Structure 1
Amino acid sequence: MNFTSGRMREEPEISLTSLIDVVFTLIIFFVVTTTFDERSAVQLDLPKASTEQKLSTSDGLTVAVDAQGRFYVGSDEVLKQDADSLRLAILRVAGDQRDQTVTLRADAKATHQSVVTAMTVLGNLGFSKVSIATVEAQKEQP
């Protein structure tokens, strides 16, 4: 007994339309995401330092931060370690001269917060010429 009919069997077909739609959507998503990623990148103009240029600190104001976070304006210690006390001490020493150069000398082990506090107070008072004092790193012997 032969149960097959005289017709040819149809081959199953896989519709690629849905697959093409999904791939096309993914391509558009990645192109748009990459474009947004470029636009959201922070553009920084990093400062440049050279060891050849030396600034004279005798003309300007010196603010120092030691390893314990204590502030010094000139050679005088600020009694409290808060921003208001530092602001008053700077005003007392600098007066109305906001165009002078301020050298910020911070100990390498000083907390980041104390250095930022000093920079914030100087910026709020209107000092625009603030430099951070560093020392030249010694070259390692081979």
Structure 2
Amino acid sequence: MRISRRNRSDDIELNFIPLIDVLLVVIIFLMVTTTFAKLSEIKINLPVAEESSAKKKAKPINIMITEDGRFVVNEKLMESILIDDMAEVLRGIAEGKEDTSVIISADANARHQSIINVMEAARKANLSKIAFTTKLISKL
């Protein structure tokens, strides 16, 4: 019995054509059966600015504190320096609008307690927007 040996000249050939055919069929099958997701849209209703809302903006309340501790509210001198009296005046000027701002202008020599009293009166009147103004003094 004779066993034939391979010659070195007989190389193994791989045939890629059937492999390519099978891969193409698989790709076509996947393309046909795949469902593509639709992009969902979110509808957003954006707010529209109205001119009337800008006109309804509350005027700020200007409070000046003098050197001797007296209060001037919207250019009217207050007789009382009590916190509760000032809170009533601020509440009346604000007319229930809590977005009204209070602008405090104090003299450089005014006592700190006077400024604290104005802030406390604004808190009691439910006014939370408080600002301070400064004055630049230039020396000649």
TM-score range for the pair, normalised by the shorter chain length? 0.5 to 0.7
Residue 130 of structure 1 pairs with residue 134 of structure 2: no
TM-score calculated relative to the size of structure 2: 0.53
Q: Secondary structure, in 3 states, of the residue corresponding to 2:68?
A: coil
Contact 2:87 2:124 (C-alpha < 8 Å) held by counterparts: no
State TM-score, norm by structure 1.
0.52
* 1:63 alignment counterpart: 63
Residue-by-residue CA offset, 1:17-50 (whole Å, 9 max, x unaligned): xxxxxxxxxxxxxxxxxxxxxxxxxxxxxxxxxx
Structure 1, unmatched stretches of 5+, are 1-57
Q: Trace 1:28-107 onto structure 2 (pairs within 5 A).
A: 59-107=59-107
Tell me how far apart the structure 1 counterparts of residues 125 and 109 of structure 2 sit (CA, whole Å).
Answer: 26
Larger Rg: 1 or 2?
A: 2
RMSD of the TM alignment (CA)?
2.0
The structural deviation recorded for 1:59 is: 3.2
Q: CA deviation at 1:87?
A: 1.2
Letter in 2 for 1:80: S
**Aligned partner letter, 2:133:** A
Q: Quick check: 1:62–1:103 contact (8 Å CA) kept in 2?
A: yes
Separation of aligned partners in 2, 1:77 and 1:98: 23
Aligned partners of 1:71 and 1:86 also within 8 Å: no
| Structure 1 position 137, deviation (Å) | 4.7
C-alpha deviation, 1:98, in angstroms: 1.6
Q: How many Å separate the matches in 2 of 1:137 and 1:99?
A: 31
SS of equivalent to 1:131: strand
* Aligned structure 1 segments of 4 or more residues deviating by more than 2 angstroms: none
Instruction: Measure the CA separation in 1 of the matches of 2:85 and 2:78.
Output: 7
Structure 2 portions without partners, runs of 5+? 1-57
What percent identity do the matched residue pairs reach?
A: 23
What is the aligned partner in structure 1 of residue 119 from structure 2?
Answer: 119
Matched residue type, 1:118: V
